[in-house]
Structure 1
Amino acid sequence: MQLRAIPAIGEIDPRRWNALQGADNPFLRHEFLEALERHGAVSRENGWVPYHLLLEDGETLAAAAPAYIKGNSWGEFVFDFAWAHAYERNGLEYYPKLIIAVPYSPVNGPRMLLNPDYPAEGLRHALADGARQMADAMEISSVHWLFARDADMEILEEADYARREGCQYHWRNAGYADFDDFLDGLSAKKRKNIRRERRRVTEQGLAMRTVHGDEASPALWDALHGFYEDTFHAHGNLPVITRDCFVELGEALGDRVVLFVAEDSGEPVAGAICLRSEDTLYGRYWGAARDYDGLHFEACYYQGIDYCIRHGLSRFEPGAQGEHKVARGFLPVLTHSAHYLRDAQFRAAVDDFLERERAAVTQYAHELTIEGPYREEVLERLPRD
């Protein structure tokens, strides 16, 4: 087998890429990755140069991974700025580096897409070793696999990558009949607070509507993209995804794009843009025309929970960070990444740091779970990864 890299996802037939196991995840679909490239969100100017890995057995695509040469650490959500600064202080270059990840998306999932006709372990080893060998050949600083699943992480650790733990806050479906059934599992104080927040949205004259990507009108995309841009600018961030990119994703992914729209007298005033797989809803972007009391919680959390219950989805990942999510039914979940640094001295220092960080993150997640919003008997029956 031969491992090679391609400089654009468009160079591989979408049917070949999407036929691999793992490509049913919406963020790993050829359509998603190509839209980001075609509309400039992924570009050299933004620090993302496509370098997708293809493992081929003659004419057969045996495995693949979405990969990029990065000139910065923005849009990754696994923060290594301190590592870059340490390299710089010692006269070394941290950038460029090779990452295997989904651009701008802190979503968990497979990072190794596999042909089911081949032994999975061998394919994973080939990708893990091959990425490291590519970094050695290019003489770049490092390789990083971000938000990888356990099956990938096991092989990556065997291949001499260092393990890093992070923490997000996810909701799990315990087979709830409806939203009130979910609320019944919370402490009385948390249940009362959520009901008050939801009531405030209605009292402000707002109505919520769920729209799938292929149902959204041009006018709705205009509004949602405007909200997205305003929100990013307000927080000092660059809104790299264009309105046309959102439209293309809606058309290409259809009901895998889920929009929670708040309306005032029939006019959209806020919205949350999500994606979904067969079993998981992923929150991505949010924006509003102005501030409304409790609307962020309604659009970004409660609508998603209700959607998961109605559609039988098992989990809801609303995005990175945000300890305030715990009071609203989300619990700490460890996330995983794997890192290979070529410089032996820095690798040793990072290994020492990661060992201490893993212990602290694990303890933090445990304590926050115990102190969380669920009644003890309900917490014990919640699904676990």
Structure 2
Amino acid sequence: MTELNRDSELPAILCLTDSCDRPESELFIGLRNAGFDVDVMCNPKGRNYQRLVDEGLVAQPMALKNRFDKEGTEAIRSQLSKKHYEVIHAYNPRALACGLRASKGTDIKVVAYRGVIGNISFVNPESWITFLHPRVSKIVCVADAIKDYLASLHFLWMHIPDSKLQRIYKGHDLAWYQAEPADLSEFGVPEDALVVCCTGRNSPRKGFDDLIQAMNHLPTDANVHLLLVGDVINSEEIRQLAEQSPLADRIHFTGYRNDAPAIAAASDVFVLPSKGREGLPRAVIEAMVYGVAPVVTSVGGMPELVEDGVSGLVVPPEHPAALAAAIDRLIRDRALAGALGAAARDRIARDFHTSMTVRETGELYKSLTGRS
């Protein structure tokens, strides 16, 4: 530990998470490099776990089963007894609930992370053991849309004070993304095809049905193929929609893939037709990093991520005709698609860089502990 940290000029932080992704992991490393005394408790099965171990950041492994995990709560309480932490930063509801319980009776500031819209209510008891708990000092929102949603919650006289809410974008770095574009022929996509890619979880709110209907609106002379990446292959409803489409032979399901970014990189257009609740979708960011023009719906944080007509196209949700028009515009105007893709890549590098996340998170910690 540096002399700076021993003198407590910067606060000691305990980060509680699960299988942290690359942006989270690099945030922890960036904070440590900026002089913060950061320890992490996280899932040892996570892809980035060993990198955190190598950086000396893992205080102890932890895989919380639920919001009432007694063993996990005791592990957090044990770690708190080993060092004078001033801030707990919890990156998911399970970690938040257990962290609040473990730190009961202390004056530790508790910071929560929120990446999606919805599922918080003043009449929901589970919300009171997480984001609405009175000991939560700050809720870091990954997008302004999430911050606005939380600020809009009211019940009788109760609301979340604006002072508790702060937007900090999750940062990335172009250097993290070095995948070679995938060979799409294994999915039956012709070499000369114009490829539309969509990656997402098997959830009705992701709008796969709208995307398939949008495909049906495209001109029949357009050599367009659609790649649906992820466990949507398990949706009987979506598979039936695809089979019934007049373009059924141009709709391909890849199943879950570890190389999803490489598939997006090999595509001409990336689409996320969500119906709601999005924060800053990683799949869209990955496509933008690889210079693929995005088409997204105007829900959640996506209009913050994609500037309509500048770094992609934004259309209304649940509007297959508008979605089809945007896709058709890009496949017919390859120069526009290229320009939007290049601008999308620049936008991530300029406005969503990990250094900004490190700086803003560090300023938050200092402000909470009276060091600003």
* TM-score, normalisation: structure 2: 0.30
Which structure has more RCO (C-alpha within 8 Å, separation ≥ 6)? 1
* TM-score, normalisation: structure 1: 0.29
